[in-house]
Each structure stands twice: as structure tokens, then as C-alpha cells.
């Protein structure tokens, strides 16, 4: 048995959609349970008094990264078949800035706005309507934006590939970064904690 | 005689076309099933003596069912090729034809729904007409008559629900539908839709608690019936196994498991079980999901059934 299962033909596209549904339920459930259906909780990370989002997301990144690394080393996962998003450096930096600005202003990212809507929060629903309006506007303006959207190499760029570092070293560095980040986040939370009256 | 004449019926003289049903049939099957569920539920309420006190559901469901059934029959009528000759269905009774059974059952349902409505009509209807008030007073004074109406409503509800399933399962040329359990599945789905609707609209806490409990039991049963339906197909002929694969990896897999089983049964069942145990509040989302799941069930089965066929090698799974 070898992963990725879909690439090795263990199931077809239809079954993969059913699995995506189940994984989506799990993702949404834990997102909401972690408190990420609340805009107040989410924007607290920008005021540095509650960095739960940073900690949870970095934990998820490190867990997934270590899982993928170990499975690859054991030989259960063919890393060359794992899909990587093509890199368009400048447009993706612009996209990241726009998403970040939207996150600070609106209080949600796309995934958490869905979690918020599912729990009946009106602000999450309005945010979601905004997302769809933005996607519609982008699609309509795509002929104008296409040149910028596709500018850059368009190849999947990885940190080990770009810097010529061994894969294991990058993994270790990210783990160290996470440990340091968690320690630093704890200090920041203490410093910027809202005083209890 | 060739087997296709007396077994599969897939012959240009008997069932010449296999893909002829569009949105009208699943809509009709859903509305018919929902009305069947309403009749079973109202009959159960009457046998339980709920007609003697104010019951929002008993006052609303029969009247609503008259509208729903009429809409369903309109959808069915729109599907007919020879609309002008529909009246001929009522010039004969063919005991071997599910359509003939259905036509007569549908005709009987209307007066029974009207009678059920008269047992506990909405206050506004009683205020509007003294005749209605008189009928209601008479009916309520006769426990034996109310009991008979209740039993008739339940029996006719089961017949209507089973008929919507038999309508499909009697079409032997489509192996996916050729299962006797389809009638039971559609009755369960109809009762579930009715209970979910009751849970959604009633303002009586007592009725809400009762309908959500009924819905939970029926939803759990529906899961079991669906499992038996799929197992029955897998244990059948090669063509039925091929038909089952339409839902197990084939082109209808995602629609069936996500919209019918996941969003239509499992998730609302979990939400409602938590609500019954007072771990979370009652939410209108769960019953809406149940009702949408009931429609999705008919939609997926009608579409997938028309893709399944008996000739070896003609069923292509993508």
C-alpha cells in the first residue's frame, strides 16, 4: 500500500470527493472547537494578546510536515507524487498581503468564515458573501489581470530546492522555528495581556 | 419468447427508452413520500388522542398535505407524454400495474386528508365556517370514527409511501431500482421528512420533542434500510452488482454519500441526538437537512437508476 492513494489508483475521483467531505467535516469541527469561529479570537493574534491561532496553525504545519517526512522515509508515501502549488512569487506575495489585510479588517480568513457561518454568526455570513463577490469580480476581471496573475516562473518552488539545502535540515529548522515561535508567543501574550479589572 | 420480453422488459415494444425521467419524477416522489409521512404521523397523533386538545401539527399537516400532493401530481402531470388522456387511468383498475394502484390510491388520499383535517381544523377555518365547526364537533364526539379515520390515514399513508417505491422497483429494466426494499425505504424517508417538518414548524414544545424523537428513530432505521438496499444489490446478479457500483465508486458516489447519507441522514441525526440529550440547542438546520436529504435520495436514485441497465457490457462506470 503506497500513498498518495488517489495517484496510485486505490480509488477514483468520486470516492476522493466523499473522503474530502469527511476530511472537511473533521477540519471544520476542530477549527470551530479551537475557537476559530470567533472573529474576536482570530484578530487577537494581531494585538498579540492571544496567539492561539499562530500556535494551532504552526502545530498543524509541523505535525503534517513531520508526518509526511517520516512516511516518505519509511517508504509509504511517494513525495514526488504529492501535488505542489506552482509558485508565482510576486502575484502570490500580493495575494498574501490582500488576504492578510482582509483578515485584519474582517476578522476571518476564508476557512474560519465558513466555520463562523456554520455556527450562525452573521458577521461570518457577510464575510462569506464578500468572498464570493470578490471571487466573482476577480473572475470577471481575469482577462485584465491574467498577465500579472501568471507572471513568474510558474514552477513548484520548495525551500530545499531554492536554497540548495538537504530536506532533513529544512525540516529540523522548521521544528526549531516552531519551538522558538511558541516560546516567543508565550512571552508576547504575557506582555500584551489585557489587564483584568 | 426471449428473456428480455418477460424478465428485463428492455425491449423496443415494452420499455423502449430507459432515460426518460427528468426533475418531475423525483419531485413527485419526494412530495408523495412527504404526504405519506404526514398521513402516518397525523394518524398516529389521532390514535394517541391528540385531537382532543390544541395540536398545531394536527391542524396544519392535513391541509398542507392537500397542497403538497396537488403540487406533486402537477409535476407528475407535466411529465406525461399524453396529457389529454390522463382521465383514462380512472376508467380501469389493473391490479398488476403499480401506476394503476397509484392513481387510485392518490384519489382516495384526498377525501381521507380532508376528513383528517376536519377532526382538528385550524381555528381560522372553524371561525370562517359554521359547517366546519359542526363537522368537527360531531367528529370529536365520536371516538370510534376518529379512530377509524386515524387508522385509515396511517394505512393509506403506508400504501402511498410504498407505492412511490414500488413504482420504481417494478421497472425491471433498471437493475438499481429492482429491489423490493425500495418501498420500505421511501416510507421511512417520507416519515422522516414529515417528522422533520413537524420539528421545524411546530411551536408546541411537546410536539417538537415527540417529532424529533420519531425522526431520530426513523433516520437510524433509514440508514439500516439503505445498507440492506446496497447489500441486496451486491448479493444480486452481475447487473445489480454493476448497478450498486454506480453508488460505490461510480459516477453517483459523491452525490449519494455526501448529500443523501452524510448531509441528509448522519449529520442531522447526530445534531438531533445531541439536542434530545440537551447537550446543544434545537436548530432548524437539522430538519432542513433531513428534508433536503429526502429530495436528494429520490433525485439520485431516479438519475442513477436510469443509467443502470441489463445488457452485459453496456454499463460503463467512470
Taking an 8 Å cut-off on Cβ atoms, the answer to whether B257 and A12 are in contact is: no
What is the residue-averaged pLDDT of chain B? 88
Would the pLDDT of A68 be above 90? yes
CB B68 within 8 A of CB B31: yes
- A21, closest residue in chain B (CA to CA): B258
Asked if B258 lies within 8 A of A17 by C-beta distance, the reply is yes
Is B4 a member of any domain?
Answer: no
Provide the pLDDT confidence category of residue B7 given band limits of 50, 70 and 90: low
For residue A18, give the nearest of B251, B258, B267 by CB distance: B258
Beta bridge partners of A77: A3
- Which B residues 254-283 touch A at CB under 8 Å? 254, 257-258, 262, 267
Chain A residue numbers touching B253 (CB-CB < 8 A): 12, 14-15, 17-18
- Enter the C-alpha cell of residue B302: 431516479
Which of B251, B257, B318 has its CB closest to that of A18? B257
Residues of B in contact with A15 (CB under 8 A): 249, 253
Domain ranges for chain A, please list them. Answer: 49-84+158-197
Inter-chain CB proximity A15 and B253 less than 8 Å = yes
Give the confidence band of A195 by pLDDT, cuts at 50, 70, 90.
low
Model pLDDT for residues B50-97, shown as the tens digit of each residue: 777 778 898 899 999 999 999 999 998 898 888 888 888 888 888 888
Residues A14, B267: C-beta atoms closer than 8 Å: no
A21 to chain B: which residues are within 8 Å by CB? 254, 257-258, 262
Cα angle vertex B142, ends B137, B145, to 5°?
A: 115
- CATH for B22: 1.20.1630.10
- Answer yes or no: are the C-beta atoms of B243 and B300 closer than 8 Å: no
CB A15 to CB B251 under 8 A? Answer: no
Cβ–Cβ contact B249 with A under 8 A: yes
Q: At how many degrees (to 10) do helices B130-141 and B98-119 cross?
A: 100
Which chain B residue has its CA at the smallest distance from A18's CA? B254
For residue A74, the model assigns a pLDDT of: 93
* Residue B16 pLDDT exceeds 90: no
- Rg (C-alpha) for chain B, rounded Å, is 21
User: What's the rounded Cα separation, in Å, for the pair A62 and B32?
Assistant: 53
The per-residue pLDDT for B81 is 82
Nearest-Cα distance to chain B for A15, in Å, is 5
Could you tell me if B61 and B38 are in contact, meaning their C-beta atoms sit under 8 angstroms apart? yes
pLDDT, residue B257, reads 97
pLDDT of residue B315 exceeding 50, the answer is: no
- The boundaries of the domain holding residue B242 are 18-307
Please check the confidence at residue A136 and state whether its pLDDT lies above 60.
yes
Report residue B318's pLDDT band, with 50, 70 and 90 as the boundaries: very low
Residue B11: predicted pLDDT: 61
Whether residues B258 and A11 touch (CB distance < 8 A) is answered with no
Share of chain A above pLDDT 70, in %: 98
CA distance B206 to B203: 9
Distances (CA, A) of B25 to B65, B74, B299, B302: 18, 11, 8, 8
Query: Which residues in chain B are contacts of A18 at CB distance < 8 A?
Result: 253-254, 257-258, 262
Interface contact A21-B262, CB threshold 8 A: yes
- pLDDT tens track for A71-92: 999 999 998 898 888 999 899 9
User: Is residue B314 assigned to a domain?
Assistant: no
Task: Tell whether B284 lies on the interface with A, counting CB pairs under 8 A.
Answer: no
Dig out the grid coordinates for B230 from the structure.
Answer: 446496497
Amino acid at each position: 500500500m503506497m500513498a498518495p492513494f488517489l495517484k496510485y489508483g486505490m480509488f477514483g475521483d468520486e470516492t476522493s470527493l466523499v473522503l474530502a467531505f469527511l476530511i472537511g467535516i473533521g477540519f471544520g469541527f476542530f477549527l470551530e472547537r479551537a475557537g476559530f469561529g470567533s472573529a474576536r479570537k482570530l484578530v487577537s493574534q494581531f494585538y498579540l494578546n492571544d496567539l492561539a491561532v499562530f500556535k494551532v496553525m504552526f502545530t498543524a504545519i509541523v505535525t503534517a510536515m513531520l508526518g509526511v517526512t517520516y512516511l516518505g522515509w519509511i517508504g509509504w508515501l511517494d513525495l514526488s507524487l504529492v501535488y505542489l502549488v506552482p509558485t508565482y512569487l510576486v502575484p502570490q506575495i500580493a495575494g498574501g498581503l490582500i488576504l492578510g489585510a482582509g483578515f485584519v479588517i474582517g476578522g476571518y480568513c476564508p476557512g474560519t468564515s465558513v466555520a463562523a457561518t456554520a455556527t450562525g454568526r452573521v458577521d461570518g455570513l457577510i464575510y462569506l458573501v464578500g468572498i464570493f463577490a470578490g471571487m466573482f469580480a476577480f473572475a470577471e476581471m481575469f482577462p485584465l489581470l491574467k498577465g500579472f496573475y501568471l507572471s513568474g516562473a510558474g514552477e513548484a518552488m520548495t525551500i530545499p530546492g531554492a536554497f540548495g539545502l538537504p530536506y532533513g535540515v529544512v525540516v529540523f529548522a522548521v521544528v526549531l522555528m516552531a519551538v522558538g515561535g511558541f516560546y516567543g508567543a508565550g512571552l508576547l501574550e504575557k506582555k500584551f495581556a489585557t489587564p483584568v479589572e | 419468447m426471449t428473456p428480455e420480453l418477460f424478465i428485463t422488459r428492455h425491449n423496443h415494444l415494452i420499455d423502449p427508452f430507459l432515460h426518460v425521467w427528468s426533475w418531475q419524477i423525483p419531485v413527485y416522489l419526494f412530495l408523495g413520500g412527504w404526504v405519506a409521512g404526514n398521513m402516518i404521523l397525523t394518524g398516529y397523533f389521532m390514535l394517541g388522542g391528540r385531537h382532543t386538545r390544541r395540536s398545531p401539527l394536527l391542524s396544519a399537516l392535513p391541509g398542507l398535505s392537500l397542497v403538497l400532493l396537488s403540487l406533486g401530481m402537477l409535476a407528475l402531470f407535466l411529465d406525461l407524454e399524453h396529457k389529454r388522456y390522463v382521465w383514462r387511468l380512472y376508467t380501469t383498475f389493473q391490479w398488476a400495474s403499480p401506476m394503476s394502484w397509484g392513481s387510485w390510491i392518490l384519489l382516495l388520499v384526498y377525501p381521507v386528508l380532508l376528513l383528517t383535517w376536519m377532526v382538528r381544523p385550524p381555528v381560522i377555518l372553524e371561525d370562517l365556517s359554521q359547517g366546519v365547526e359542526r363537522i368537527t364537533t360531531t367528529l370529536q364526539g365520536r371516538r370510534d370514527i376518529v379512530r377509524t379515520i386515524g387508522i385509515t390515514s396511517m394505512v393509506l399513508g403506508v400504501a402511498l409511501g410504498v407505492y412511490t417505491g414500488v413504482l420504481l422497483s417494478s421497472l425491471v429494466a433498471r437493475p438499481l431500482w429492482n429491489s423490493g426494499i425500495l418501498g420500505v425505504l421511501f416510507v421511512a424517508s417520507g416519515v422522516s421528512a414529515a417528522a422533520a417538518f413537524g420539528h421545524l414548524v411546530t411551536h408546541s414544545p411537546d410536539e417538537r420533542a415527540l417529532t424529533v424523537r420519531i425522526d431520530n428513530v426513523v433516520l437510524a432505521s433509514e440508514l439500516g434500510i439503505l445498507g440492506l438496499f446496497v447489500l441486496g444489490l451486491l448479493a444480486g446478479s452481475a447487473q445489480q452488482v454493476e448497478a450498486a457500483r454506480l453508488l460505490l465508486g461510480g459516477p453517483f458516489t459523491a452525490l449519494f454519500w455526501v448529500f443523501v447519507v452524510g448531509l441528509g441522514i448522519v449529520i442531522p441525526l447526530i445534531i438531533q441526538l445531541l439536542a434530545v440529550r440537551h447537550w446543544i440547542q434545537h436548530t432548524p438546520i437539522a430538519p432542513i437537512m433531513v428534508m433536503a436529504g429526502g429530495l436528494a435520495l429520490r433525485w439520485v436514485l431516479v438519475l442513477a437508476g436510469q443509467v443502470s441497465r441489463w445488457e452485459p457490457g453496456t454499463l460503463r462506470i467512470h
